[in-house]
Chains A and B, each alone.
Chain A
């Protein structure tokens, strides 16, 4: 098995941050045929039609996080056009024109805020200049409104459509000459804007990867060893080729990279159903000598067995934990565990591909289309510049489609067969060949002084490695993970378990498990000290955070943290008298630059069935671009968090994932879904993303409420292990 399937997520974001600046205006917006009518390109993001319609390119993949709407809103705001004039198109995948294009890390808004404002403001300045020249007036005497340049002194006005041709001839204005709007001038940013694809979605139009068709296209499946990394020893492929509807079947050896192409058998047929049917007749003997051997229950037992020891590697320490614990008024220790998880996006992996004359064209629902170029090129043995990726809408990402294995498979099958093909994974393929959220274990110990203050904090974190050296994707613990920078005596250590199961970034990587353990344990400490949880959290946040050292993540701003904690508590009525049987739980977490506090209110019946009545959320991600989209993300994050903590877990035996479909991986359904109230503090910080940071606090908020309601402390997820249902 090979762990070099991609850059580390932190590496990826760093790289994109470095290459992300600068507006490229020398390249052209690449549009589909529908906008081939008379139009003028003002820059890579903006095209103006003669009838004053404005085409704006959405640069990043849309996975449901709303960027196909919110990023163009930023352009439209500075361009000063009416949203009704705007049509949004998906931008071509072209790094030279658009810089980094990806959906990950909740980074789209933060990385593109300045670039997109400049794109809009640059085009507006050119349109104003064109009008001023035509009227022979100063640009300062002109203004703009709803896609028109106005000269109020003379009462004249021209539409952008009338000015675009002249504007496009003008030199680009210097970036420092642009005057960007102040927040008070925003007409669009902060409003509730519906998703730009909503009409197409509710009428069933083809938008997704799975909906693509190519002339002469055939349908492919790719069958791999259920223990990750096994290869084909024998098969009845000759018989399969004879089946009705089957066009071809062949073995691919793979290229040794789990993120690209594993060994397997391709079956190509006249329809998806014919391919699925033929697959049922396929018999394969797998060579599992190099395959994964993982056993989840053994790993879980081993983690418990070593939990009392120190971790193999020290991540950070300050003060003297041992001495502080020895003289503490009270000490508490607890062992927290969470399982491997699948992403299970509703659209199973798929990709359509043509390989012809040394070139490859892909239609792919990928979160990292620019990485797909390199991965596919490497798989095919061609240059990256010979690969074109057409970005499709994506039926759920959650981090799964940061990996491009299914793109490489489609390309390899198209290359080998010489046919245009659509590769279609089954749901069972998706469950068996995910890049899973790594399981994790925290052996926590803390000491309280006589006043109930947390003086010492020790976390032995047990996590996974694929290369034997470093935590795998989404498996690390930052040296400044909360609350370490706020406690006097701290030790964070780590033990790595080897795994042959490829892991991946799952919505709010790291934080999605860490927050459950840490924010639950802090509630345990508050309870042990006889203190109000809210008061203890606010005490922690009343001090400035320590400067970050080596291995640190983003630095927590304790004032912003305190503000959202207070707001969530206030909006939820923290401390109020609740109806009999109801209890509230609180949790906070900082991740992906976002500050989120949540209060869960629930009751539990005698059969341990939980009813989660309401979750009150307070968040600070700076100014909100699209209020409707942001609220939707928070509501969805809470429901995703609840769904996951309630009953989701991936079990592994003999290197094989045991769950095969949604009946064994029971996502939350509507009757169990809570009411979610969302409150934002629109602080005066640069805007950041909201696809991830509202998820991590949820599990701890629910577990803390559950403890208050029942006295049962849940230290291992999912809740179903302790007999709870939702």
Chain B
């Protein structure tokens, strides 16, 4: 058992008596009631538990929470800025991506990490970045379209804000 602090969605949580090996996923779900990150496999195969560590996609089922001290953790609950959805979240709604929806938080977090690295991804960039996220319902076609759509939106927003500043 160990005590430590974690920064999750910009908020610092002081945690006590946490098992050393408890994966971040179960800390989020059982102790912090952040249940958007999903348990699917426990082995890093499905990606349903994907969150960000300093902007990079990680599998929260396979990393002990105690190893993340000093990192910025972002979960699906912290992706939107207040009421303003992230362009990916909006694109998922616009393209009616979900079927059962269970994997989609993890899909969106992987896609958001991709757009952080590569704002204009090609089809093969998307394939590569999203290959770790399973969708049992088979919504891959719509996921890919939604990512392209969100990338266009981000590019448009960037141009618009540049224009606004000049």
List A residues at the B interface (Cβ < 8 Å): 62-66, 192-195, 197-199, 201-208, 210-211, 213, 219, 244-245, 271-274, 276-277, 344-348, 393-398, 424, 426-427, 628-629, 632-633, 635-640, 643, 661-663, 667-671, 673, 675-676
Contacts and interface: CB of A to CB of B under 8 A. Distances in A.
Contacts of A629: 96
A607 B19 CA distance: 47
A206 B138 contact: no
A636 B104 CA distance: 14
B136 A346 contact: yes
Interface of B: 1, 19, 21-23, 26, 29-31, 33-43, 45-46, 48, 75-77, 79-80, 85, 88-89, 92-94, 96-105, 108, 126-128, 130-144
A267 to B, nearest CB: 15
18 contacts: A62-B100, A64-B137, A193-B96, A198-B101, A204-B35, A244-B1, A273-B22, A273-B26, A346-B38, A395-B102, A424-B39, A427-B41, A632-B99, A635-B138, A637-B138, A640-B138, A663-B45, A673-B140
B134 A667 contact: yes
Contacts of B41: 427, 661-662
B45 to A, nearest CB: 4
Nearest to A348: B39
A344 B136 CA distance: 8
Contacts, number: 187
What 3 pairs across the A-B complex have the smallest Cβ distances? A204-B36, A639-B138, A64-B100
Nearest to B101: A201
A635 B143 CA distance: 12
B100 A346 contact: yes
B38 A198 contact: no
User: Which has the most chain B C-beta neighbours within 10 Å: A347, A643, A675?
Assistant: A347
Given A202-B108, A213-B33, A676-B141, A427 B93 contact: no
B96 A192 contact: yes
A187 to B, nearest CB: 19
B100 A395 contact: yes
Contacts of A668: 138
Given A244-B1, A277-B21, A198 B96 contact: yes
Nearest to A192: B96
Given A271-B30, A348-B40, A636-B139, A661 B99 contact: no
A219 B29 CA distance: 12
B35 A663 contact: no
A630 B46 CA distance: 26
B35 A206 contact: yes
Contact of A207 (B94, B101, B130, B143): B101
A711 B36 CA distance: 48
B60 to A, nearest CB: 12
A271 B26 contact: yes
B45 A199 contact: no
A277 B22 CA distance: 9
Contacts of A204: 34-37, 75-77, 105
